[in-house]
């Protein structure tokens, strides 16, 4: 199987896809009438890996499946359809999924009618499709992040023709409105405001797996939030890979700041947004955060590194000084704001003094939490081939030192609220003690 033409599974072929110049189409989802009952008496289960974008996509996959008559299963054993909605951000995430795919093979043996579907970010990479073809022949449907709306067609082919379906859309993506959705929560909701990313940070696979940056129209987002309000939702989290770039592609002089003002008018009690890029965080958005009671005073603002040399190699388009300046503005305009971040350690070129600069920045900003990672080289990204002379042991040491500092900040952040009465959104019974309610 060495001469498989992987390109034929990608629509368009990969050499075309890399041109990335197509116009973005806004389309509306419609389920063909003849597929409405295709899922009756079949049960599905979705395993979601990775970020909130995947969680939101899984709600759409569930929505499509239920619209076709499928029912949610409680366990894998009880399922006729298993969907892995995959993550490609780091090697560790991928390895977990490869392991799970191996484990699931036994269910194919006990239930010959079981369909196994691999969706999400992993199949957007040719190298993954190749491995799926060679090593996991029992996977029935392979699709990516741009073609969720085609799932009914793929199921038709798999159910009726008993065909293996492999189709990954490699064009930069469209906007599909009116997709059905089964929300996982009754009072807080994800709301996609944009898809894709045009930043191309040198370590990151996302611009390749999620396509070109493209914004939903403000009126479609506002309408969705109005509907959520009418159903009693208390909180929305606006989603995008770089929400601060919202609207740029629409060319209507309307950005995230303006959207926040308009969404506040819907009456939704709480608004959050993630993820932000420091370079695009503007004063209108910062002022909206400070002015609108509905916009929560928390911001996740990934800094990645405190060294200008490393930031440049990462293609982040800001310096440590610019980042600190934005933090100053945020603290000025948004009283009591809590700031969290993402940091990568062990990036190629990061030496001890660069790492010290990161620690210094963490102290200066006073982050109240953060996600920290050891750099994971991703095939196809520029940083994959950067020379890297730091040992894994040293990287682990840096990660531990950084985590210690981040945890200290987390504790300080929590202590700010000790003995204070504040309004919280109740999540439900506490995991540790069901007699107590937990909220945030």
Going from the C-alpha of 138 to that of each of 61, 84, 133, 135, 231, the distances in angstroms are: 21, 14, 9, 9, 41
One symbol per residue from 189 to 228: x for binding ligand 5AD (CB under 6 A), - otherwise; what is it?
A: --------------xx------------------------
Q: Which residue of 51, 116, 119, 204 would you call a contact of ligand SF4, by CB under 6 A?
A: 204
DSSP strand pairing (194-195 vs 214-215): antiparallel
**Residue 249: alpha-carbon gap to chain centroid:** 20
Residue 207 interacting partner from ligand SF4, ligand 5AD, none (CB closer than 5 to 8 Å by kind): ligand SF4
Q: Which does 378 bind (CB under 5 to 8 A by kind): ligand 5AD, ligand SF4, none?
A: ligand 5AD
Q: How many chain residues are in contact with ligand SF4, going by CB under 6 A?
A: 10
Say whether residue 207 binds ligand SF4 (CB under 6 A): yes
Burial class (CB in 10 A: 0-12, 13-18, 19+), 276: buried
Considering CB distances under 5 to 8 angstroms, the limit depending on partner class, which of ligand SF4, ligand 5AD, none binds residue 242? Answer: ligand SF4
Contacting ligand 5AD (CB under 6 A), which of 300, 320, 378, 395? 378
The residue to which tokens 């009693």 are assigned: 232
Q: Is 138 in the site for ligand SF4 (CB under 6 A)?
A: no
* Total residues binding ligand 5AD (CB under 6 A): 12
Indicate whether 344 belongs to the interface with ligand 5AD (CB under 6 A): yes
Nearer Cβ to ligand 5AD, position 154 or 375?
A: 375
Binding piece for ligand 5AD, criterion CB under 6 A, among 191-199, 219-227, 375-383, 419-427:
375-383
Packing angle between helix 283-291 and helix 320-333, nearest 10 degrees? Answer: 30
Residue 369 phi/psi, 5° resolution? 155, 165
C-alpha span between 93 and 154 (Å, rounded): 26
Please pick, from the candidates 125, 215, 241, 372, the single residue that binds ligand SF4 as defined by CB under 6 A: 241
Give CA–CA dist 297/417, Å, rounded: 14
Nearer residue to ligand SF4 within complex by CB, 167 or 199: 199
* Beta-bridge partners for 219: none
Residues 360, 382 contacting (CB under 8 angstroms): no
123 binds ligand 5AD (CB under 6 A): no
Chain center to CA of 357: 28
E-strand stretches of 309-395: 338-345, 370-374
Instruction: Estimate to the nearest angstrom the gap between the alpha carbon of 81 and the chain centroid.
Output: 23
d(CA 226, CA 229) in angstroms, rounded, equals 5
| Contact partner, 90, from ligand SF4, ligand 5AD, none, Cβ < 5-8 Å per class | ligand 5AD
Instruction: Show the tokens assigned to 133.
Output: 């073809």
CB of 354 to ligand 5AD, least distance (A): 16
Contact call for residues 39 and 72 (beta carbons, < 8 A): no
> Is residue 367 a contact point for ligand 5AD (CB under 6 A)?
no
> What's the token pair of residue 81?
């359809």
Query: Pattern of binders to ligand 5AD over 401-440, x per CB under 6 A?
Result: ----------------------------------------
Site string for ligand SF4, 252-281 (x = CB under 6 A): -------------------------x----
Question: Does 242 contact ligand SF4 by CB under 6 A?
Answer: yes
The verdict on 372 binding ligand SF4 (CB under 6 A) reads: no
- To the nearest 10 degrees (0 to 180), the angle between helices 218-230 and 256-264 is 30
Q: Which residues bind ligand SF4 (CB under 6 A)?
A: 197, 199-201, 204, 206-207, 241-242, 277
Q: Which residues bind ligand 5AD (CB under 6 A)?
A: 89-90, 203-204, 302, 304, 342, 344, 373, 375-376, 378
């Amino acid at each position: 199987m060495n001469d498989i033409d992987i390109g034929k599974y990608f629509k368009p072929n990969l050499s075309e896809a890399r041109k990335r110049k197509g116009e973005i189409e806004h389309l509306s989802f419609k389920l063909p009438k003849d597929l409405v009952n295709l899922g009756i008496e079949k049960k599905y289960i979705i395993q979601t890996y990775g970020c909130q974008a995947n969680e939101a996509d899984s709600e759409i996959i569930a929505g499509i499946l239920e619209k076709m008559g499928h029912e949610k299963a409680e366990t894998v054993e009880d399922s006729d359809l298993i969907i892995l909605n995959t993550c490609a951000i780091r090697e560790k995430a991928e390895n977990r999924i490869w392991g799970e795919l191996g484990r699931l093979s036994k269910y194919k043996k006990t239930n010959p009618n079981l369909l196994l579907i691999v969706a999400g970010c992993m199949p957007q990479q040719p190298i993954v499709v190749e491995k799926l073809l060679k090593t996991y022949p029992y996977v029935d449907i392979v699709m990516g992040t741009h073609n969720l709306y085609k799932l009914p067609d793929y199921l038709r082919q798999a159910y009726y023709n008993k065909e293996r379906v492999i189709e990954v859309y490699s064009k930069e993506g469209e906007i599909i409105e009116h997709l059905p959705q089964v929300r996982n929560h009754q009072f807080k909701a994800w709301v996609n405001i944009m898809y894709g990313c045009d930043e191309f940070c040198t370590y990151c696979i996302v611009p390749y797996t999620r396509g070109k940056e493209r914004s939903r129209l403000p009126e479609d987002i506002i309408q969705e939030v109005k509907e959520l309000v009418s159903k009693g939702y208390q909180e929305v989290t606006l989603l995008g890979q770089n929400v601060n770039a919202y609207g740029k592609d629409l060319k209507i002089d309307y950005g995230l700041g303006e959207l926040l003002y308009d969404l506040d008018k819907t009456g939704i009690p709480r608004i959050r947004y993630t993820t932000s890029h420091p370079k695009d965080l503007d004063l209108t958005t910062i002022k909206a955060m400070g002015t609108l009671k509905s916009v929560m005073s928390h911001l996740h603002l990934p800094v990645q590194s405190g060294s200008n040399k490393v930031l440049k190699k990462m293609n982040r388009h800001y310096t440590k000084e610019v980042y600190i300046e934005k933090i100053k503005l945020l603290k000025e305009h948004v009283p009591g704001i809590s700031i969290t971040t993402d940091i990568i350690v062990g990036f190629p070129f990061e030496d001890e003094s660069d790492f010290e600069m990161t620690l210094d920045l963490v102290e200066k900003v006073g982050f109240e939490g953060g996600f920290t990672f050891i750099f994971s080289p991703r095939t196809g990204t520029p940083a994959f081939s950067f020379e890297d002379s730091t040992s894994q042991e040293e990287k682990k040491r840096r990660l531990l030192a950084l985590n210690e500092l981040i945890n200290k900040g987390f504790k300080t952040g929590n202590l700010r609220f000790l003995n204070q009465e504040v309004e919280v959104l109740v999540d439900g019974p506490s995991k540790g003690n069901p007699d107590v309610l937990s909220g945030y």
